[in-house]
Amino acid sequence: MLEHLPAWLGKALGTVRAGADGLMIARPDLGRGFDTLSLTSPAFADGGRLPPRFTADGEGVSPPLVWGDPPAGTAQLALIVEDADAPTPQPLVHAIVWALPPGAGHLEEGAIVADAAGTTDGGDVGRNSYLREGWLPPDPPSGHGEHRYVFQLFALGEDVADPGDTPGRGAILDAMAGHVLAAGVLVGTYSRQEEAPVGPVGAVAPG
């Protein structure tokens, strides 16, 4: 896991980031001009810091999510969570949930788990970047700076192809292409062991 990287290496990799343009929602394959879907969390504000309980520094459970009514014609919803600032060629996938009922309206805290353990809110849980079902808790390298964890919810129309059992990112992208009716985005941030800015040793603050 990335939390085991030494801080000096995390700092050295500070400019190595996947980038927001690699996120699923930015993929041209999905089309353009779809509607906006409201997506929020009672646990953190959009752009705010994720509480440690949802990360590798805490319990490592998935956060609760709430969304608005999807547009007419929505057959199912798909959720993908990606780290736009991972020091990898493309964003690191932290969770995939496929075939969520259009009327669900929410995911409870801790709901994104391996299918064998049973999700509380329906849907098929796919594979994260560690090739495991369930929620991959954020664990940014020490010294690498703030990471953006981007929750992306897609409302999908009819005739969506079956991505197969325990789908990964590529299978989800292929299945969703041309079928997105609306999408919502929520960003949570997290960093680990960042140095606080200090002045020279012995400096006296101005009176």
Nearest partner of 126 among 81, 167, 163, judged by Cα: 167
Contact 30, 180 (CB under 8 A): yes
Whole-model pTM: value is 0.85
Joined tokens for residue 48: 């705010």
Percent of the chain with pLDDT over 70: 82
> What is the C-alpha to C-alpha distance for residues 60 and 138, in angstroms, rounded to an integer?
8
Nearest partner of 56 among 127, 183, 150, 141, judged by Cα: 141
The continuous run of DSSP H or E covering 67 comes out as strand 65-67
Please provide residue 169's backbone torsions phi and psi, each rounded to the nearest 5 degrees: -60, -45
Residue with tokens 């736009």: 84
> What is the C-alpha to C-alpha distance for residues 88 and 85, in angstroms, rounded to an integer?
8
Model confidence over 58-114: pLDDT tens digits? 999 999 999 999 999 999 999 999 999 998 889 999 999 999 999 989 999 999 998
Nearest partner of 102 among 126, 135, 67, 127, judged by Cα: 67
Contact 37, 182 (CB under 8 A): yes
Q: Does residue 13 have a pLDDT over 50?
A: no
Q: Which are the contacts of 92, defined by CB distance < 8 A and separation ≥ 6? A: 18, 82, 83, 86, 129, 136
Q: What is the pLDDT of residue 117?
A: 59
What is the CA 145 to chain-centroid distance, rounded? 17
The pLDDT-based confidence of 18 (bands split at 50, 70, 90) is confident
> What is the C-alpha to C-alpha distance for residues 125 and 112, in angstroms, rounded to an integer?
7
Higher-confidence residue of 201 and 51: namely 51
Measure CA of the first residue to CA of the last residue in the chain; give whole Å.
46
Model confidence over 118-138: pLDDT tens digits? 554 668 999 999 999 999 999
Helix, strand and coil in the chain, % to nearest 5: 15, 25, 60
Q: What is the pLDDT of residue 194?
A: 59
Q: What is the pLDDT of residue 56?
A: 94
